[in-house]
Amino acid sequence: MLEKAFLIGCLKPRQRRTEALDSLSELAELARSAEAEVVGETLSDLREPTPTFLIGRGKVDEIRDLIKSKSIDLVLFDEELTPAQNQNLEEAWGCKVIDRTGLILDIFARRARTREGKIQVEMAQLSYLLPRLIGKGEQLSRLGGGIGTRGPGETKLEMDRRRAKEKMHRLAQDLKKVKLTRQGHRGKREKVPIPLVSLVGYTNAGKSTLMNRLTEADVLVEDKLFATLDPTVRRLSLPSGREVLLSDTVGFIKKLPHELIESFKATFEEIESSDLLLHLIDGSNPHWEDQKEAVDEVLENLGLSSKPCLTLFNKADLSEEQTGRFVEGLAISAKEGSGMKELLGLIEQELARGLTPVRFLFPHSAGRFLSLLYREARVLSVKHLKKGIQVQAEVGDKALKQFHSYRT
C-alpha cells in the first residue's frame, strides 16, 4: 500500500513564485519515484525561517489538522531541515517528516544495483543520518518501514554515534577497494585506448533511452526521476568504423545533496576520464534552461566544465517552429530515432579535433594491429606494398603510443 504524502514548498524572499512552484512540482515527481501517493501540497511564504519548525507556528497547526483529517503518513519538505527542526515537526504532527535530501537518498537506495553504488549510497545516508540519530534513541523505532528507512534504515535504529562512524569508516575502506578495481579496469581499457564518451544531463532527460538507441543496450527506461543509478558502458561504432565507449551516468538534479556528490566522486571519475561529454537536455520541458544551468553547476563543482561537450536537445519530436529555438545544440529524439545520424557525425567530428595525421607501415604479419587501428583511429588510405601495408590515418594521443613502433 502506498504511503500518503503531503508536500510543503517554501517561497523565499526575492524568489520567483513560478520557480518555487516548479521545485514543488519536481518534489512531487520525486515522491512518485519513491512510490508515494501525493494527496496534497502547499507553498509557504518563508519570510523569516524559524529555528524550531522552519515555517511559522500557525502553518504548523494548520497542517497538523490536515494530517489528521486525511490520515497522512508522511510530510515531504522541499527544503533541507536541521535535525532539530525535523524532530520538532515529527513530534508536532505525529508522522514521518522527510526533507528533499532525505527523499533523494531514499530513491538512490532503491535504485542502487552494483556493490559500488550500494556502498556510495549507504555512506551518503549515514552522513545525512548521523546528526539526526543524536537524542532520538528508541523514538526511531516507530518508523518501521517505508520511505526514509531504506538502505541502512533497518540498522540505524540501534546505531549510536560511535557505531555509525565506525560503519562509515568500514564503508570508506570498502569503497577504496572498489575504486582500485575500477582503476584497474580503466588501466586495461587505456592499454586498448578507445575514446570514452559520457552522457550527462538532468534526471529523466532520456539518457538511458539514447543509450539504448545508439548501442542496442538493455538499460532500464522508466518515466521516473533517477530510474537508473549505476553507470553503464557500451561500445558504439561511428560512421567511419571507429569504435568508442559510451557511458551512461547518474542524472543530476537541482539541490543535489552534497552527501551524494561526495560519496559518488568515484562514479564521477568515469566522467573525468572522458574524451567527450554529451549533455542531454529535455527539450520538451519549458524549464530546460534552469535544468541545463543545474547540470553545468554540478560539472563546474566537480572541475569538469572544461571538458569538450556537445549539447543535445532530446524529445524534439515537436514542430519545426519549436525546435528552431535550440540554436545552441542539436535537436534529436532518442525515442523516435531522429537526429541519430547527425549526432554520430558530430561525435566523430569532435573526437577528430584531438587526432594527429600519421603514416604507418605494418609488416604483413601484423594484421592484428591493423584491425585494431581501424577501430581506434580514422584510417584515410591503405596501400599494399612489398615490404608491408602502408596506412595513412588520424590517431589520438592514447592510441599513438600503442602504434608508435610502426610509425614512419
pLDDT of residue 187: 60
Cβ atoms of 46 and 8 within 8 Å: the answer is: no
Same domain, 234 and 130: no
Between 366 and 22, the more confident residue is 22
Q: Is residue 178 included in any domain, yes or no? A: no
State the Cα–Cα distance between residues 224 and 313, nearest whole angstrom.
19
User: Apex CA 168: angle with CA 162 and CA 170, to 5°?
Assistant: 105
Closest to 48 measured CA to CA, from 19, 10, 87, 6: 10
Same domain, 269 and 288: yes
Same domain, 227 and 318: yes
User: Apex CA 154: angle with CA 177 and CA 32, to 5°?
Assistant: 95
CATH of residue 80: 3.40.50.11060
Q: Is residue 181 included in any domain, yes or no? A: no
The whole-angstrom distance between residue 337's C-alpha and the CA centroid of its chain comes to 23
Tell me the mean pLDDT in the region 171-176. 82
CATH of residue 398: 3.30.70
Domain span at residue 254 reads 194-351
Phi, psi (deg, nearest 5) at residue 355:
-95, 150
Same domain, 36 and 95: yes
Same domain, 159 and 27: no
| Count: domains in the chain | 4
Cβ atoms of 99 and 81 within 8 Å: the answer is: yes
Same domain, 220 and 142: no
User: What 8-state DSSP symbol labels residue 252?
Assistant: B
Under DSSP, is residue 93 helix (H, G, I), strand (E, B) or coil?
helix
For residue range 89-143, list pLDDT tens digits in order: 999 999 999 999 889 888 888 777 777 778 878 888 888 887 776 544 443 433 4
Strand bridging mode 355-362 / 388-396 = antiparallel
Closest to 282 measured CA to CA, from 222, 339, 202: 202
For 251, counting Cβ atoms within 10 Å of its Cβ (0-12 exposed, 13-18 middle, 19+ buried), the class is buried
Same domain, 138 and 277: no
Q: Which residues contact 289 (CB under 8 A, 6 or more apart)?
A: none
Q: Is residue 48 included in any domain, yes or no? A: yes
Distances in Å between the Cα of 385 and the Cα atoms of 278, 374, 389, 407 are: 41, 18, 6, 15
For residue range 177-205, list pLDDT tens digits in order: 877 776 666 565 555 567 889 999 988 88
State the Cα–Cα distance between residues 148 and 169, nearest whole angstrom.
22
For residue range 336-390, list pLDDT tens digits in order: 999 999 999 999 888 888 778 889 888 888 877 777 787 777 788 888 888 888 8
Beta bridge partners of 395: 356
Segment among 12-26, 38-52, 249-263, 350-364 with least mean pLDDT: 249-263
Neighbours of 18 (CB within 10 A): 10
Average pLDDT in the chain? 80
Same domain, 90 and 154: no
Helix H or strand E segment including 16: none
Same domain, 223 and 345: yes
pLDDT of 321 > 70? The answer is no
Phi, psi (deg, nearest 5) at residue 397:
-60, -35
Between 396 and 341, the more confident residue is 341
What grid cell was written down for 121? 549510497
What grid cell was written down for 187? 588501466
What type of residue is 326? F
Distances in Å between the Cα of 253 and the Cα atoms of 27, 100, 346, 408 are: 11, 11, 27, 50
Is the pTM higher than 0.75? Answer: no
Distances in Å between the Cα of 382 and the Cα atoms of 362, 393, 403 are: 11, 9, 16
State the Cα–Cα distance between residues 92 and 79, nearest whole angstrom.
18
Q: CB-hemisphere CA count at 13 Å for 251?
A: 26
Q: Which residues contact 27 (CB under 8 A, 6 or more apart)?
A: 7, 9, 76, 78, 100, 103
pLDDT of residue 129: 80
For residue range 220-279, list pLDDT tens digits in order: 555 555 555 556 788 898 888 888 889 887 778 887 766 666 666 655 666 777 889 999
CATH of residue 325: 3.40.50.300
Tell me the chain's radius of gyration from C-alpha atoms. Answer: 25
Tell me the mean pLDDT in the region 40-46. 92
Q: Is residue 246 included in any domain, yes or no? A: yes
